[in-house]
Structure 1
Amino acid sequence: MDIIDPQSGCSGGAEAVLGLQPNSSISIAYHSLFGPHNDLLLLEVDEKFLPEILHQRVTLRGQPDEDAVLCTVSKTYAVKFVGTSNSVFLIPPTDKVSNLCNNKDDNNMVVASVIKVAPGCMELVEVAPKLDKLKLLLSQNPYSFSESSDMDISEEREKTRIGLYRWDDLVDRLQASDKELRMGLQSLSAIEIDGYWRILDDKYMNAILNMLLHNVILNDWSINALNEDEVVGVLETDGFPRNIATHCLQVYCCKVDEGVGLSTTWKLDERRICVHLAREILKEGKMKIEIFMEKWMRRVPDGMHASFDMLEGEVLKEKLGMDTWVYSFSVSSLPSTPAERFSVLFQERAKWEWKDLQPYVRDLKVPGLSSEGLLLKYTRRTQPTMDAEPIFSAR
């Protein structure tokens, strides 16, 4: 392409270039508004993204001190600027170009008007959502007994609004797509109360679960066939708000039957309840495994069968002399970023056997990198003999 004086021919827009045939050429000229135009940036996207972008189903998210990410409805992408050594000309559409053809004749030619030379473009790279901040935000003001009390006066209720977040507040603060954010809220057992997303105070959650289990025994309910209307009604009588009572069923039960025209039927989730009870016991601190198992089995409701295998990713064993001790170490409390996750793990233990390490890394998802790739990047594997279990240490 030749750069010429714009007055020597007819000015054409982007259509003139898009219509070029193979092996043909066109002359270009500087537009009268040519300049750096720093507000114009090129974004290179896969064709599958075009409907999302053209229908405005994407958003840029991030705080002023964070690198921006682009979110579709379901995924999150880092935005990377990639420079180029080639000249990339931006040519606006015809209706944006001034007509420079005052006296067109047969010698006039079409000239594409360049408004900017782009030094590079932005590319999208799929990344894991950054949801660690979500738990920190929701932990600022968990829902507790005092809020559910009818004795709360208006002034106290106003105080409880401090540190609370609506959906739009969370979207503004977190680098995650809407779908990923909802999954994050679900993993924290969050509930929307008066328009704000909340987690329940540990004591409050423990109290309502204990009341549910107590009522199962008191009313001789089947743990595999709990009638929602009946259960919620009894919990309301015990002083729990209806939405919280329903939330308890959603957290600690599995839906059995929607019950068209009738009340929904639930069954107690054996693993969730057993893990919750184990966590409560281990709040007392490290203890011998025999003592822990004895306390745990006493707490588990009749009809449920607790197994130590349920506690993968929740509890670690430690050999001290002849005794085996256990203590709480939950994967849910660890960072979701691989580098930070492995750093915390190797601070806890310098060396990990695979059977112990696997529950704490299997949830890590990095687009474009397999689980084996993560281990190669962040750990050093040793195996004294072919029959020995592999040992992982920090790289």
Structure 2
Amino acid sequence: MRSRAEVDATLRTAKLNPGELLPAVHCLSFGPQGGAGECCLLQLEAGLMNVFFCYFFFFSLVIRGEKDEKAVLCSKDKTYDMKIADTSNTLLFIPGCKTPEELNADEASCNIIHSQIAGFSNNYWELRRCRPKLKKLRKLLMEDPYEGPDSGKDQTSTASRYTTEDLLSLIQASEEEILHQLQVIDACVIEGICFLSQNHHWRRMEGFI
């Protein structure tokens, strides 16, 4: 850990005037697990900050996407593209680190503040609001469309069937966006399984003609 004398010597070497700087000095050192890859940074626009803090405490945020898909971040009702942005500066993770405005009077007048670096990174995640990726929803449900109670296919079919929870894990969209789209495409839920009911719908319509 550096002493005040060492800090002053460094300032003189850098030809900096201590009178033009704040008195508090942060001396940084790496903690026992201060390495790269342990944490990820997420950049939020000012308008999204309060929304995401609210979701962090009261709801869940989910990253969705299979190996061949680009990841998206989903809240309960919105979907965001995630892209990695590189930076030429090393970004440090310092738990409890305070800006000059956050220092109280005692801390501001303190000579040395020792802080440990918990991790670092040369990139961060950017979020962009995007449309939900819902084309896959119809494709999955078309693997085993519902054809009515009189069809033997529904009892003998070996095609994939999906619950709502399955669709939430496979479709890159928020829960509300997926549930809304299920209504739009006239899907139905039978014994916990989601089916496309279009063919059966037309059969019922023909029965009334």
Give the aligned partner of residue 179 of structure 1. 176
Aligned length: 176
Do the aligned residues in 2 keep the contact of 1:8 with 1:108 (CA within 8 Å)?
no
Residue type at the aligned position of 1:38 = G
Root mean square deviation of aligned Cα: 2.6
Do the aligned residues in 1 keep the contact of 2:2 with 2:27 (CA within 8 Å)?
no
Q: Note the alpha carbon deviations across 1:253-311, whole angstroms, 9 max, x for none.
A: xxxxxxxxxxxxxxxxxxxxxxxxxxxxxxxxxxxxxxxxxxxxxxxxxxxxxxxxxxx
Counterpart among 184, 189, 192 of residue 192 in structure 1: 189
Counterpart among 64, 76, 79 of residue 76 in structure 1: 79
Question: Take 2:175 and 2:118, find their aligned partners in 1: how far apart are those partners?
Answer: 37
Comparing both structures, which one devotes a greater share of its residues to strand?
2
- Structure 1 residue 183 displacement after superposition: 1.6
- Structure 1 residue 27 displacement after superposition: 2.0
Give the aligned partner of residue 102 of structure 2. none
Do the aligned residues in 1 keep the contact of 2:76 with 2:175 (CA within 8 Å)?
yes
Q: Alignment partner of 2:204: what SS?
A: helix
Quote the sequence identity (%).
26
Matched, 1:39 2:41: no
Residue type at the aligned position of 1:188 = I
Residue type at the aligned position of 2:186 = S
Do the aligned residues in 2 keep the contact of 1:30 with 1:115 (CA within 8 Å)?
no
Give the aligned partner of residue 65 of structure 2. 62
After TM superposition, list the pairs within 5 Å mapping 1:1-395 onto structure 2: 6=1, 24=22, 25-33=24-32, 35-45=34-44, 46-48=48-50, 49-93=52-96, 109-145=112-148, 148-149=149-150, 157=155, 159-160=156-157, 162-200=159-197, 202=199, 204-212=200-208, 214=209
Do the aligned residues in 1 keep the contact of 2:186 with 2:198 (CA within 8 Å)?
no
Structure 2: unaligned runs, 5 residues or longer: 5-20, 98-109
Q: Alignment partner of 1:115: what SS?
A: strand
Question: Take 2:93 and 2:26, find their aligned partners in 1: how far apart are those partners?
Answer: 14
Do the aligned residues in 1 keep the contact of 2:27 with 2:112 (CA within 8 Å)?
no
Residue type at the aligned position of 1:200 = S
Question: Take 1:191 and 1:80, find their aligned partners in 2: how far apart are those partners?
Answer: 35
Q: Note the alpha carbon deviations across 1:92-146, whole angstroms, 9 max, x for none.
A: 249xxxxxxxxxxxx973212112222122121001011111111010101114x
Question: Take 2:133 and 2:84, find their aligned partners in 1: how far apart are those partners?
Answer: 20
Question: Take 1:8 and 1:38, find their aligned partners in 2: how far apart are those partners?
Answer: 31
Give the aligned partner of residue 251 of structure 1. none
Question: Take 1:109 and 1:93, find their aligned partners in 2: how far apart are those partners?
Answer: 15
Q: Note the alpha carbon deviations across 1:215-272, whole angstroms, 9 max, x for none.
A: xxxxxxxxxxxxxxxxxxxxxxxxxxxxxxxxxxxxxxxxxxxxxxxxxxxxxxxxxx
Q: Note the alpha carbon deviations across 1:332-370, whole angstroms, 9 max, x for none.
A: xxxxxxxxxxxxxxxxxxxxxxxxxxxxxxxxxxxxxxx
Q: Alignment partner of 1:163: what SS?
A: coil
Residue type at the aligned position of 1:164 = R
- Structure 1 residue 208 displacement after superposition: 0.2
Residue type at the aligned position of 1:66 = E
TM-score with structure 2 setting the length: 0.74
Structure 1: unaligned runs, 5 residues or longer: 1-5, 10-22, 95-106, 215-395
Residue type at the aligned position of 1:209 = M
Q: Note the alpha carbon deviations across 1:173-205, whole angstroms, 9 max, x for none.
A: 110001110121111100001101101252x32
Question: Take 2:2 and 2:159, find their aligned partners in 1: how far apart are those partners?
Answer: 64
TM-score with structure 1 setting the length: 0.41
Residue type at the aligned position of 2:194 = W
Give the aligned partner of residue 372 of structure 1. none
Do the aligned residues in 2 keep the contact of 1:130 with 1:176 (CA within 8 Å)?
yes
Larger radius of gyration: 1
Q: Alignment partner of 1:36: what SS?
A: strand
Do the aligned residues in 2 keep the contact of 1:26 with 1:112 (CA within 8 Å)?
no
Q: Note the alpha carbon deviations across 1:50-73, whole angstroms, 9 max, x for none.
A: 111233421111112211110011
Residue type at the aligned position of 2:163 = R
Q: Alignment partner of 2:83: what SS?
A: strand
Give the aligned partner of residue 254 of structure 1. none
